[in-house]
Amino acid sequence: MKDTYKNAHTHIFTMNNAPKDFLKLYLPSALVKPIDTFTNTDLGAWIVRGIADSRIVKAKRYATFLQIGKSKDQTTVFENLMSRYPNETFEFVTLCQNMEYLGVGRSASGFEGQIEEVIQIKRTYPNNILPFFGLDPRWKGSEDEIQKTVERYFETQIEVAGTYVYPFQGLKIYPSTGHYAFDKKLKKTFEWAAANGVPVMTHTYYLGGIYNSDKSHIINNLNPIDPYTGKVYGVPKFITEKASLRAKLLGLEEKQNCKLSCSYFLEPHSYESMLSSIKDLKICFAHFGGVPQIKEATDPNKKNIYAKPYGVLGKNWFNQIQDLMTQYPNVYTDISYNLAECLAKENNGLYKEFFNEAGKSYGNQILFGTDYFMTEKDNLEEEAVKGFRNFASESKLSDGKSLWDKMARDNINSYLKSKYYP
C-alpha cells in the first residue's frame, strides 16, 4: 500500500515484554514494587483509568502512558494506536525492542515471545503494521548465528487470506542498552540488510530513553575494536558526574552516571565507519538528536547554553546527524517524540522555520513519526498528529509537494523499499 500515509516510528510493547524490574531505570528502587503491584490491582487499574479519562492534563498524560504500558498484550496496544487515526487507512512501523540485557532482569515474555505476538498481529492486520525486528549483539553467540536467525525470521512468510506476506520490514537497534552499532556481531546482519534494501532504525535522542544500568558492563564495553577500522574506538571513560542531593537521597547517583556513559554508545559519530564501509545501508537516526539538541542548534538565543554532549566528538547531535545526511543519501532522520515540543506555543515560530529549512536542505531524508506510546505522557497522539499535519500540509517545498506528503508518504516509501516491502 505504497500510497498510504505512514507513521515511521511507533512502539506497542507492554510491560510483559519489558524486564521484570524495568521501572528501576527511572524510579527509586524502594518505590518500584509498590507502584508496580498497586497498578496491577483492580483498584489501581481503576484509579489509572479514572485519571486517564479526567481533565487533569499532566496527570492524565502520565496515567495514559501507564495504562497503555499495562495493556494485556501488544494487539490491544496496536488497536489503540489505530483508533487514534479514525476514518483513514494508515500504516505503522512498529519497533520491536530487545530489552533483555539492561541489567534489570529479563522479561516475562522473552524477546522471542514478543516477536511471536507481533507476527500474530501481522496476520490480523497485514495492511496496517510494518514490524521492525529488534537487534542486539548479545542475543546470540556469534555474528553468523545472528545473521542467519534474522534472515530466517524475515524469509518465513505467513499466510493471510490465502496469500503469503513477509512478517518484517526492517531492523531496530537501541545502542544505549549497552553496545555500539558497529559491534562485530552485527556486521554480517547489516551487510545482509544493505544487500536486500532492509532499513534500520536507531534510537538517537541525547540522554533520553532506555539505558543500561550495569556499570561493569558499560566499563567493559566502552572501548572495543571497531571491526570496520581495526582500531580501538575513541577514548571513552565511564562518567562520574557529581549528583544532586536529591539524586543521592533517592539512590539514583549511579543510575544517572550509567545513563550519561551510555551516550557514547549512541553518538552519531560512532556510525561513520560502518556507513563508509557498507555503502547501501539505509539507516534512520530517530528523533534527530532530541529536542534540546535541536533547540541549541537552531535557536540563536540558545547557542552554547549546554555543556558539550558526552561522546567522542563532543559535538551537537543534531548537527552530527545533519552532517551524516549530507554525506550519505541513505541516511534518514525522523521527528518522533519531538512533535509535542514542536507544537508548543513558545516554539511555534522556531520550528516552522526549522522544518521549512529542513525541507530545502534534506527534504528527501526526513520522516514523519510520533514515538507512540512513549509520547502519551507529553501529548496525546491524535492531538500531536493533527497539529503537525495541519502545519506540514500548508508548507510547500520547491517541488510543489507539501512537507506532509514528503515526510509521511514519499520519503518513508523510499526508506522502506526493500525485498520485503512493498
pLDDT in tens, 153-169: 999 999 998 999 999 99
pLDDT of residue 57: 42
311: left (phi over 0), alpha (psi -120 to 50) or beta: left
SS3 272: helix
Residue 418's beta-bridge partner residues?
A: 421
- Note the pLDDT of residue 60: 43
What pairing do the DSSP bridges indicate for beta strands 90-95 and 5-10? parallel
Could you give the CA distance from residue 76 to residue 259 in angstroms, rounded to a whole number?
31
Whether 6 contacts 411, CB under 8 Å: no
**At residue 66, does pLDDT exceed 70?**
no
pLDDT digits (tens, 9 = 90+) for 370-422: 988 776 655 578 877 887 888 788 877 777 788 899 999 999 999 999 999 99
CA distance 110 to 99: 9
What residues form DSSP beta bridges with 170? 132
> Which residues, in sequence order, are CB contacts of 284 under 8 Å at separation 6+?
8, 199, 200, 201, 202, 331, 332, 333, 334, 367, 415
Question: What is d(CA 369, CA 383) in angstroms, rounded to the nearest whole number?
Answer: 14
* Residue given cell 544500568 in the structure block: 213
**23 closest CA partner among 40, 5, 7:** 40
Enumerate residues 6+ apart whose C-beta is below 8 A from 305: 296
Note the pLDDT tens digit of each residue in 312-339: 998 999 999 999 999 999 999 998 877 6
Residue 51: pLDDT band (50, 70, 90) is: very low
Grid cell digits, residue 6: 505512514
Strands 331-334 and 283-289 come out as: parallel
Q: What is the pLDDT of residue 360?
A: 66
Which residue type does 120 have? Q
Q: How far apart are CA 300 and CA 219, in angstroms?
A: 37
Domains of the chain: 5-416 (3.20.20.140)
How far is C-alpha 396 from the geometric centre of its chain's CA atoms? 28
Instruction: List, in sequence order, every beta strand (DSSP E) within 55-167.
Output: 90-95, 129-134, 158-160, 163-165
Name which of 68, 161, 73 is nearest 113 in CA terms: 73
Cα separation of 253 and 243, whole Å? 6
Model confidence at 92, pLDDT cuts 50, 70, 90, reads very high
Report the candidate in 316, 288, 290, 326 with the shortest Cα–Cα distance to residue 407: 288
pTM: 0.89
Query: Measured between alpha carbons, how far is 19 from 229 in angstroms, rounded to an integer?
Result: 34
pLDDT for position 381: 80
Going by pLDDT thresholds of 50, 70 and 90, the confidence category of residue 69 is low
Q: Is 348:21 a contact under the CB 8 Å cutoff?
A: no
Q: How far is CA 173 from the centre of its chain?
A: 8
For 389-398, the CB contacts below 8 A with 24+ separation are: 391/343, 391/352, 391/355, 392/355, 392/368, 395/352, 395/355, 395/356, 395/359, 397/359, 397/360, 397/363, 398/360, 398/363
User: Cα–Cα distance between 47 and 138 in angstroms, integer?
Assistant: 39
DSSP-derived 3-state class of residue 390: helix
Residue 346 in this model has a pLDDT that exceeds 90: no
DSSP state of 301: G
